Structure 1
C-alpha cells in the first residue's frame, strides 16, 4: 500500500518526555525503573505504572482538544504486534492508559507484522523497510495513533496510510517519548518538500517509487531531513540499498532462530 501524502494541517505528534538523558533529574522513558519489564517482558502492569509517572497533563489536554475540534471521541490505536510476536507492552499500554483517562475507545483489531525488530538498527533500515499491518478498521470513527517512541515517524506514517487506504481517517498522533522530548512535526512541511525538489529535481518522485514504493510527498518531515543529508542520488541510493540489506539480514537471522 502506498504511503499517503500529508494534509497541510495535520497536527504535530504530541510527546511526553525524552527517550533517554544523561541527566538523572530528568524523567526519561528508557531510564525509568519499569521500562525493561514493560518493553522487554510485555508486563502490562509495569507499562501502566511507568505511564502514571511519565504522561503529562498537557499532552492529555492536547488530545482532548482533538475531541473538541472534531466533536467525536476518536479511537486510539497502537502499532502493536500479536502477543506471540512481541514482548513490548508500551504502545498498547499507552493506548489503554489514554483510553481510561480520556474515555476513548481503543481499537485492538489491527496488528503490525513483526518479521524483525528495527529498534537497534539505523535510520536507513527504517526508511528502506516499511511497516505493514493487517486487520479491519472502523470507517466511521476517526483514529488517533499512539506509540512508545517516535524516531523518524515511519511506523506512524505507515499505520496512518493503512487506515486511510482502508477508508478510515486519522486526526492525530501521540507518543510517550521522542529524542528531545518535544512534540514532533511529522507531516512533510512545505518548505522541506521544496528543498527536496530543489535538491533532487523532477526525477525524485520516480526514484522514490522505484526504491520505496511511494513518492517523496509521503515522507515524514524527519525522514525528509535524513534524505536531504545525502550528497545526491548516488549517495541516497547507496544508503537505501544498504538499509534494505541490513534489514533483510536481520529478518533472515530471526527466521533462522525460530
Structure 2
C-alpha cells in the first residue's frame, strides 16, 4: 500500500534556495557522519564551521524586513534523526533574530541519503504539526538533491495557511537550488513522455508536472521512456 500523498503547491515566483557551503566542505567534515546520525553536538560543530555569512545576509535580505519562522526538516535517516537541519535553524536564529518553529516534523522514514532519483521520487517526505496561518516561513534543511523534501514541506505549510518565502540549505549542487521548472523543461517532458504519464503521475502523486522541482523534471525528461519511469518507481517502492 502506498504512503499518503504529500501536498504540493504552485511555485509561482519562488526564489532559488540559498546555499551555504560546497558538498565537499560539508560531507568531508569530521563531524558530518555523527551529525547525520543524530549527534546534536556534532551538528552544531558542522554548522558553525560551514555556515556562510554571505548566505545569512541573503536570507535577511529575502525576509525584506519581516520576521519569518524557521521551519527545519527533521528527517529520519537509517542511522537516526538527522540533527543538522535543527542545528542550522538554531544557528540562523542566533544570526538573524528569526524564531525557530519546532512544531512541524517529518512523520515518515524515506532514507534519501545515498538514494537514486527514482527512490527519492517514490519515497517522499510527509509532514505534520501546527502551522500558524498567515505567517511567513523560511525552510531550512541540510542538503538539497532533487528538492522534493523542500517542495513537500512548502506544500504542507501553505496548505495549512502559512506563507513560504524561501528556503536555505547547508549544501547541495548549485543547479539543484533552482526549484521552479522552466516552461521549456515542462514542454520537453510532456512531449517526450506524453499525456498518459502525466495522468498517471497525478493519480500516484497528487499533482501535475508543473509542481515538480526543476531537478525532478530534468531527471524524468532524461529517462528513456514512460514505462521505465513507472517500473523504476514501482521497484523503488
TM-score of the pair, normalised by structure 2: 0.90
Give the match for residue 206 of structure 1: 199
Alignment check: 8 A CA contact 1:204 1:215 kept: no
1:60-96 deviations in Å (ceiling 9; x for gaps): 111011122xx311111111158xx933210111111
Out of 62, 67, 85, the residue aligned to residue 63 of structure 2 is: 67
Out of 226, 229, 232, the residue aligned to residue 236 of structure 1 is: 229
Give the distance between the partners of 2:99 and 2:72, measured in 1 at CA: 12
Give the match for residue 222 of structure 1: 215
Q: Find out whether 1:5 has 2:5 as its counterpart.
A: no
- Secondary structure of the residue that 1:238 maps to in structure 2? helix
Alignment check: 8 A CA contact 1:18 1:29 kept: yes
Give the match for residue 162 of structure 2: 168
Give the distance between the partners of 1:219 and 1:182, measured in 2 at CA: 15
RMSD: 1.9
Give the distance between the partners of 1:38 and 1:231, measured in 2 at CA: 37
Give the distance between the partners of 2:14 and 2:223, measured in 1 at CA: 27
Give the match for residue 187 of structure 2: 194
Out of 15, 30, 55, the residue aligned to residue 19 of structure 2 is: 15
Q: Which structure 2 residue ranges, 5 or more long, are not aligned?
A: 1-5
Give the match for residue 56 of structure 1: 52
- Structure 1 residues 84-233: aligned runs within 5 Å: 86-179=80-173, 184-233=177-226
Give the distance between the partners of 2:214 and 2:220, measured in 1 at CA: 10
Q: Which structure 1 residue ranges, 5 or more long, are not aligned?
A: 21-27, 245-258
Give the distance between the partners of 1:67 and 1:118, measured in 2 at CA: 29
Alignment check: 8 A CA contact 2:67 2:98 kept: yes
TM-score of the pair, normalised by structure 1: 0.83
How many residues are aligned here?
Answer: 230
**For residues 81 and 236 of structure 1, do their structure 2 counterparts lie closer, same or farther at Cα, with a shift above 3 Å needed?**
closer
Cα offset for 1:210?
2.3
Q: Find out whether 1:76 has 2:32 as its counterpart.
A: no
Give the distance between the partners of 2:10 and 2:81, measured in 1 at CA: 32
